[in-house]
């Protein structure tokens, strides 16, 4: 019986560690500067909205295969790229940047 409890406790610890790791690696750390080059729509996997209350710079973090790109949320190309991610999946027709307190991940 004690061995069974030890196995259950070990499995629970592994689950907590794995969950923490996965949640922490969903997007890049805080953006400190913006990319000047627009990203191509067909390469986009998704994006995360970075808010001022979490990091010093408001940004849209675009998810591309193997990397992240930080963009100015007020730039026209950024808004077009966000729309490109949102529209094919049946989301809102237009996405505007807001200063909400909870980060939103779009994929």
pLDDT band (50, 70, 90) for residue 107: low
pLDDT digits (tens, 9 = 90+) for 33-70: 999 999 999 999 999 999 988 898 999 999 999 999 99
pTM, entire model: 0.58
Distance CA 83, CA 90 (A): 11
Instruction: Please report the domains of the chain, with CATH numbers, ordered by start residue.
Output: 30-106 (2.40.50.40)
Span 6-20, mean pLDDT? Answer: 64
Looking at per-residue pLDDT, the higher value among 97 and 77 belongs to 77
């Amino acid at each position: 019986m004690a061995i069974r409890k030890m196995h259950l406790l070990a499995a629970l610890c592994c689950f907590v560690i794995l969950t923490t790791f996965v949640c922490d690696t969903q997007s890049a750390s805080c953006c400190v500067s913006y990319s000047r080059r627009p990203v191509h729509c067909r390469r986009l996997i998704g994006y995360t909205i970075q808010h001022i209350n979490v990091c010093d710079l408001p940004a849209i973090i675009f998810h591309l295969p193997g990397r992240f790109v930080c963009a100015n949320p007020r730039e026209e190309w950024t808004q077009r790229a966000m729309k490109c991610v949102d529209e094919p999946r049946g989301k809102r027709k237009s996405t505007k940047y807001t200063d909400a307190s909870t980060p939103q991940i779009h994929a």
